[in-house]
């Protein structure tokens, strides 16, 4: 299967999921992750990723910090129907901050494994 061969060529961590467009097919092995976080195979298995990007209490605190600093956050943690949308937005932002240090690269493409893990942690009705 040609699609399967393409997948094998771009996913190095084993946890990526095919994305809608080829331009979104990026693996965590292709970004500047600290070597210590690669030992787990995929960056999404790193304790740092789990603590920072998948812990609701961390994301809730970050939500209020961002709001206090004038950042327009998608979703609202106080509204049940919007909470996961807000958590996704914040988790992605924290991932970019962790890996790239700066948010000046706001249009940076997130690895497919990261996007999918965040979606699994915080499902939304519009998925």
Tens of pLDDT, residue by residue, the chain (127 residues): 444 445 568 898 999 988 888 888 999 988 876 655 566 689 999 899 999 999 999 999 999 999 999 999 999 999 998 999 999 999 999 999 888 876 665 578 899 999 999 999 999 987 7
Residue 126 maps to a domain: no
Its domain, for residue 110, covers: 2-121
In a domain, 71, yes or no: yes
Q: Domain tally for the chain?
A: 1
Predicted confidence at residue 83, as pLDDT, reads 95
Check residue 120 and give its pLDDT.
96
Taking the chain, what is the end-to-end CA distance rounded to the nearest angstrom?
A: 27
The confidence score (pLDDT) of residue 61 equals: 97
Q: Looking at residue 101, what is its pLDDT?
A: 76
CA distance 23 to 49: 23
Say if CB 71 and CB 61 are below 8 A apart. no
Position 86 in a domain = yes
Residue 41 covered by a domain: yes
Q: Is residue 36 part of a domain?
A: yes
**127 belongs to a structural domain:** no
- Which tokens in the block code for residue 3? 């699609």
pLDDT for res 66: 94
The reply to whether 106 falls in a domain is yes
């Amino acid at each position: 299967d040609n699609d399967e061969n393409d997948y094998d060529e771009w996913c190095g961590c084993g946890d990526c999921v095919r994305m809608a467009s080829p331009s979104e097919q990026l693996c965590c092995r292709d970004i500047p992750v600290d070597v210590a976080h690669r030992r787990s195979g995929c960056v999404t298995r790193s304790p740092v990723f789990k603590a920072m990007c998948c812990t609701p209490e961390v994301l809730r605190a970050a939500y209020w910090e961002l709001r206090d600093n004038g950042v327009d956050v998608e979703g609202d943690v106080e509204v049940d129907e919007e909470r996961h949308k807000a958590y996704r937005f914040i988790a992605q932002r924290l991932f970019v901050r962790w890996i790239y240090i700066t948010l000046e690269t706001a249009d940076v493409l997130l690895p497919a494994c990261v996007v999918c893990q965040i979606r699994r942690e915080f499902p939304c009705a519009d998925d």
